[in-house]
Amino acid sequence: MLTKAIIEFVQDHLNDDPARLLLAAHRYPGVPVQQAVAQIRALHKVRTKIPGWYRFDLAFPPLLSVEQASSEQTARFKAGLFSGGRMADLTGGMGVDAYFFAQHFEQVTYVERRHELAELARYNFGILGAGNIQVVNAETEDFLKEHPDTYDLIYLDPARRDEQQRRVFRLADCQPNVPEILDLLFARAPLVLLKTAPLLDLQSVVEQLNVVTNIWVVAVDNEVKEVLYLLAADAGRQDYSEIPITAVNMGNEQPRTFVFTRAEEQTAVPEYSVPLRYLYEPDAAILKAGAFKSFARRYGLFKLHPNTHLYTSADFIPDVPGRAFTVETVVRYDRKAVGATVPGGKANIAARNFPDSAEAMRKKLGLGDGGEVYLFGVTDLEGKKVVVGRKV
């Protein structure tokens, strides 16, 4: 899969410009430079995305497959939710999820429809010493129909691109079509863990599948990466308002979580206020999950406006899952007024329930990007304001 010549070339040229290496391929007889450069490009991505796989002896697929793979942090998180005897990853891809599930299950079956990806995964599992993973090259539907084995858990990350590599988002347009094969899945396992793109509406997925018992909205460094749905064969039709939704934000510190239900959100009655001494911006996973009013009530915070998802307090509230700022001034949305509060003419700008985008605000206010000042264009109970803050 990887020759000694390729490994040595990659080690020697890891920090070189891949485009220049390809142009100079004639200088390296005996080395498949195109394959080696593909390895270099993949390693650049793997280094931060899957650091445990940052090794010269592993073989990586084309960059698109690396980009579509789960990160090490998200794979570890989802694998840590379960344990047992046998599980199956029916959309194996690069194999990152299967590898981490194998650390929690006695036996893992990895299924991948593309032959080249399956062979790469087989090779890498051997290098990584993951001897409890069985590799099967098959279509998901064919595997389910032709293999009578049963599992404690099935995991699916449906492909979100069509044959022309265009992005698709509806469950029915993904491959495999999970709503269509749900009965087949439950014939093989009582639990199915489904990963979807963050853009899918949570309620629409629940209504399509009916058997969702738990939802996780997963972010890394405050960027939502995936949404996980646990489907249970014996769940019966689930009421979306009662399903526990966990918003998770992972980074360099311990993961921050916020658990709520839509019923709690619907009945929560927040209080409102003009900006006080402290301003809070919830983690992105919380905002994606839709915990707007319940977030305010849980931490005793005031909202700025029903549709402005920023929060405020007179006294500092510790351990709020989000970013906190000290409010230094609240001024009208005017170039002169704002400019007087921004030394150096630079600021980090965000718009929340505001008529202009952050970029439009920047142009109107004549400010550069960066610096220590944070400006929020918001709508509050008294009208449109610009809130200036420094991170606590």
199-258: per-residue pLDDT in tens?
Answer: 889 999 999 998 999 999 999 999 999 999 999 999 888 899 999 999 999 987 789 999
Exposed / middle / buried, residue 10 (Cβ in 10 Å: 0-12, 13-18, 19+): buried
Q: What are the residue ranges spanned by the domains of the chain? A: 4-45, 67-260, 271-391
Q: Which of the following CATH numbers is that of domain 67-260: 3.30.930.10, 3.40.640.10, 3.90.550.10, 3.40.50.150? A: 3.40.50.150
- pLDDT computed for residue 348 by the predictor: 93
142-201: per-residue pLDDT in tens?
Answer: 999 999 999 999 999 998 755 555 565 678 888 899 999 999 999 999 999 999 989 889
- pLDDT computed for residue 76 by the predictor: 97
d(CA 392, CA 324): 6
Handedness of CA 133, 66, 284, 392 (dihedral sign): positive
What one-letter code names the amino acid at 33? V
Sequence-distant (6+) residues with CB within 8 A of 42 are 60, 61, 63, 66
d(CA 300, CA 192): 37
33-58: per-residue pLDDT in tens?
Answer: 999 999 999 999 999 999 999 999 99
d(CA 94, CA 2): 16
- pLDDT computed for residue 5 by the predictor: 95
d(CA 70, CA 98): 10
Torsion of CA 183, 185, 187, 188, to 10 degrees: 180
Helices 202-209 and 178-188: crossing angle, nearest 10°? 60
Sequence-distant (6+) residues with CB within 8 A of 252 are none
d(CA 275, CA 313): 8
Average pLDDT over residues 340-344: 87
- pLDDT computed for residue 293 by the predictor: 98
